[in-house]
Amino acid sequence: MEEHLYKEIYRYLGYRGMTPDEQTDALVAECLAQAREEMQPLSAVRRLDVRHTGEDRLLIGDMDIHSHGLARNMQGCEKAYLLAVTIGHGIDTLIRRAEVTSMMKAAVMQSVGAALVEELCDRVNEEIRIAAEKEGYHCKPRFSPGYGDLALDLQRDFERILNMRTNLGITLTDTLLMVPSKSVTAFVGLYRGAQECSSGGCSECNLYEDCTFRDEG
């Protein structure tokens, strides 16, 4: 678990298959400890019905969504979870503070925050998977607003349906950024039948070719 987390942190820092030096290792450990101290992980999920209403068009709950990417992702799904997670405001303050004294530390803190919120997201996703499998469903890889052609405007629906402000303390800026910055929203589609072979990893991503954070391991 911890090993995976470190691997992710280094991936966000831009190490591609290189071994970091002791100094960086120590700094990562220090930042991780501080971030964990300050972190206030919260999550919310809600299950809704999915209807395929046309080409590249879906109705999830009361959301009428046009998106090629999500429609493809949700192929064969009859239900979908909305999930939102955050690790809280503390990490943003830690990044700000680090920026005053050391950009290196700021960059490490940034990567630590990203890795921690992803870890939390994985955990919540896993809970969803376990619950879904008891009912005979399998899960699709999660899919977030703003990814591919899926409109970022959906953030407002997540905010409303999951009551993100009250339940998680996540607010949106006018430009639909989430505050705290280390927060994630996503759809997880549920389907019945044989499990599809899908790693959900980097190779599935439409940004695979150009991405500097691509998992090479």
Bridge partner list, 188: 81
Quick one: which of 96, 123, 133, 196 contacts another protein (CB under 8 A)?
Answer: 96
The nearer residue to another protein, 23 or 195, going by C-beta atoms, is 23
18 part of the interface to another protein, by CB under 8 A: yes
DSSP letter at 196 equals: P
Q: Is 122 exposed, middle or buried (0-12, 13-18, 19+ CB in 10 A)?
A: middle
Q: Using CB under 8 A, which of the segments 120-128, 137-145, 161-169, 185-193 binds another protein?
A: 161-169
Quick one: which of 2, 3, 23, 136 contacts another protein (CB under 8 A)?
Answer: 23
The nearer residue to another protein, 180 or 189, going by C-beta atoms, is 180
Which DSSP helix (H) or strand (E) runs through 194?
A: none
* Structural contact between residues 170 and 44, judged by C-beta atoms closer than 8 angstroms: no
46 part of the interface to another protein, by CB under 8 A: yes
| Distinct helix (H) and strand (E) counts, the chain | 7, 8
- Shortest approach of another protein to residue 103 CB, angstroms? 5
199 part of the interface to another protein, by CB under 8 A: no
